[in-house]
Amino acid sequence: MNNTTNTKVTELFRYEAWSGYGDKNIVLREFKIQKETPCGFWIYDSKIEARRWIGKNTYRPHAFKTKEEALKSFIHRKLAYLKILETKKQSTIQALDIIKTHFSNPKPEQFECVVLKS
């Protein structure tokens, strides 16, 4: 016998890290479902002031049916972001090391640059 219940989902959840005035807060955002379709949900996202579609079988959905899934996604996103920052940090350190190694007193005219104009 299957103990799962077919409860109707009325809201979706997403954790985000917000900063303001020097404070860092982790915020649980709750999205009321405006409409459910066979493939997903329509919600209103006040952050972008627009409707957003969340697929039920999406690989990385924007919001989740449970707070636990939302927290797991938040942790995964932050760990992935740390990897990106570490890679950027290492690249920046390498660039500075190259400059220190090849130039005793670097000046901008010593570098070949491309200026992009819009």
pLDDT digits (tens, 9 = 90+) for 14-58: 999 887 776 788 999 999 999 999 999 999 998 888 999 999 988
Looking at residue 99, what is its pLDDT?
80
Burial code (b: 16+ CB inside 10 Å, e: under 16) for 18-55 equals eeeeeeeeeeebebebeeeeeebbebeeeeeeeebebe
Looking at residue 63, what is its pLDDT?
94
Handedness of CA 18, 20, 24, 27 (dihedral sign): negative
Looking at residue 1, what is its pLDDT?
42
Looking at residue 96, what is its pLDDT?
84
Cβ atoms of residues 65 and 57 within 8 Å: no
102: part of which helix (H) or strand (E)? helix 67-102
Q: In the chain, what percentage of residues exceed pLDDT 70?
A: 81
Strands 23-36, 50-55: pairing is unpaired
* CA distance readout (Å), 58 to 5, 18, 71, 89, 96: 22, 25, 17, 31, 41
The tokens for 37 are 């379709």
Q: In the chain, what percentage of residues exceed pLDDT 90?
A: 54
3 pLDDT higher than 70: no
